[in-house]
Amino acid sequence: MTKTAWLFPGQGSQAIGMGVDLLDLPFAKVKFDQARQVLGWDVLEICQSQDDKVSRTLYTQPCLYVVESILADVLIERGNIPNLLAGHSLGEFVALYVSRVFDFDAGLRLVKRRAELMDSAFGGTMVALIGFNREQLEQQIETTPDVVLANDNSPNQVVISGTPEAVESVLAQIKVKRAVPLKVSGAFHSPLLAEAAAEFQEVLQAVPFANALFPVLSNVEPVPTVEAEVLKNRLERQMTGSVRWREISMQLPVEGIERVVEIGPGNVLTGLIKRMCPNLELQNVGKLADLPS
């Protein structure tokens, strides 16, 4: 039996039209109806909006959670079982749902509140860096207040997050092949979100967590666990903590993983892993046609 990890992408992987093909599945219609009851708006309507509403944080996170959850449920329904789970930022909530740490509605309510809090954040910025000297970058971040390494995605691709002034200061001091500002409202995965994170923690504390059916690698601590309290504690730290995706990727072969399935739109995560772990078999499940019969 091939040891398999399921990975769930986060904000940035959304696409106009995602999830629409899933309406051919009767049980998916039920899930979309459930989501409408929780959210007060229609996921598919947002996903089909040609003015790219799906890329606004308020909508992006719930839409990704719903679409990715449905795809994973279909895989399980058809007899596919993961050995390990992980998700990038928002994707961690899908991983926890798939591992039945909480049910679909509870997870969606958490994601809805998280999206509202992050969408209302302001005063910060995020920039993706490609091609840089890591030691030089880390030294500049260490000596510059109000900026952090928010997403450590791979040896050659990271995202820094902080005040616009602090981010510009770091960029002025390093050589980088490409610097791409991200279309986000605030400095996600940084201490600048402390106020929003504190409010989210109160919401999170009220939700009961069960032990996971499958081990989960968390963003802030890329070590697999099934323990409910550990998973909750890690999630509490996620909004202000760094997404340690490079370490998650490198942990996969250590855990004996042979195949990686990215479940959700796009192929960002498998693209990152391909460079770091070239011996792993990679698969993408982003739409109905990708699902095994």
- Annotated catalytic residue, options 89, 99, 242, 249: 89
**Cα 64-55-290 angle, rounded to 5 deg:** 40
Residue 54 corresponds to which amino acid? V
Is 189 in the active site? yes
Contact 148, 242 (CB under 8 A): yes
Residue 225 · residue 212 · CB < 8 Å: yes
Known catalytic residue: 89? yes
Amino acid at 181: P
- Strand pairing report for 157-162 and 125-132: antiparallel
Q: Compute the Cα dihedral for 279, 281, 284, 289 and give only its sign.
A: positive
Taking Cα atoms as reference points, which of 182, 177, 162 lies closest to residue 242?
Answer: 162
Q: Which helix (H) or strand (E) element contains residue 72?
A: helix 57-77
CB 283 within 8 A of CB 28: no
The residues that bridge with 261 in the sheet, in sequence order, are 6, 283
Strands of 104-156 (E only): list them: 125-132, 147-154
Q: Which residue among the candidates 13, 189, 218, 249 is catalytic per the annotation?
A: 189
DSSP state of 161: E
Q: Containing H/E element for 177?
A: strand 176-181
Which residues are part of the catalytic machinery? 89, 189
